[in-house]
Amino acid sequence: MSDTSANPPAATALPAPPAWKSRRAWMVLLITAILSLVTDLGSKSLAFRHVAGTPVHIDRAAVLDTARKDPRLINTLVPNHEPVVVIPKLLHFTLVLNPGAVFGTGPGKRWFFVGFTIVALGFGFFMFARWCTTRDGWAHLGIGLLLGGGIGNLYDRLVFACVRDFLHPLPGWRWPGGFTFRGTAEIWPYVSNVADAQLLVGIGILLVFLWKKDHA
């Protein structure tokens, strides 16, 4: 007769509890979102106070009036100024008002992006509640970055009727061989903000999370 007690069955790992039941998961999510929001709004405020040499105040009524005429003229509301060189050839600060979304897409469609952002924020909470467990710390961080960045730009669209941008990476860098993309030879002609960077990092984290989840 064989001795079955010598080879006990392997213990089955219990599934991790859902993230929404974990105080620690909520803390990571909310602290990341709050810090992201404060960093974004604080950096925008400092940039528009100092980069142009004198404080630049955004008049919401003037933005709306200009946008009705031609959204492309919205940056006439920002005084001409020299960029602040933070790291030569790598990063400049220059003030830009964006009536659209990231990379200047969709100018003049502010309410569309307001609605889209609200839906995206709701989806972030849904993803946290339904797809994340207590073990998915990086996903909690990524969703927190999405929430903080999304709320930061949503605040701008509601309060100023546009998004305040000031980060210009790779200024003056051009495609080799005279190549152009979207009518410009610059590799990165876009001016963005901290919220945009948070959104991109958050999306990257979540893409890796979803890829690993599918291949687990």
Q: Cα torsion at 33, 56, 81, 35 (round to 10°)?
A: -10
Give catalytic status of residue 214 as yes or no.
no
Beta bridge partners of 202: none
Tokens of residue 58, six digits: 């955004």
Residue type at 210 in one-letter notation: L
SS3 26: helix
- What one-character DSSP code corresponds to residue 162? S
Instruction: Give the SS3 label for residue 75.
Output: helix
Phi, psi of 174 (to 5 degrees): -125, 150
* E strand residue ranges, 3-121: 84-87, 91-98
Catalytic residue among 40, 136, 156, 196: 196
* From 40, 136, 156, 165, the catalytic residue: 165
Q: Would you call 165 a catalytic residue per the annotation?
A: yes
User: How far apart are the two ends of the chain, measured CA to CA in Å?
Assistant: 39
Catalytic residue list = 165, 196
